[in-house]
């Protein structure tokens, strides 16, 4: 957190994929208050698949190339 924000502030949220990994990717977020950055952060997301045992469990799978292509990612393999 860089700047205080209040309920009536007009904010702009910018999200982008900063890094592609084999089974996950990093989503970075910037929240702008006018011309100034109010908040910066990131999250790591996995590509979730149903577990092959048929249960409700999830497991990480390889991020598909067509999903990456939607975001303009270049394949390096």
The DSSP-derived string for 14-61 is EEEEEEE-SSEEEEEEEEEETTEEEEEEEEEEE-EEE-TTSSS-EEE-
The tens digit of pLDDT for each residue in 30-49 reads: 999 999 999 999 999 999 99
Give residue 71's pLDDT band: very low, low, confident or very high (50, 70, 90): confident
Say yes or no to pLDDT of 77 above 50: no
């Amino acid at each position: 957190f860089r700047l205080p924000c209040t309920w009536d502030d007009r904010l702009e949220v910018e999200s982008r994929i900063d890094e592609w990994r084999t089974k996950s990717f990093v989503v970075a977020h910037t929240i702008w208050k006018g011309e100034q950055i109010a908040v910066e952060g990131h999250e790591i997301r996995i590509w979730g698949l149903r577990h092959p045992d048929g249960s409700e469990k999830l497991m990480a799978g390889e991020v598909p190339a067509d999903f990456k292509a939607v975001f303009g990612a270049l394949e390096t393999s």
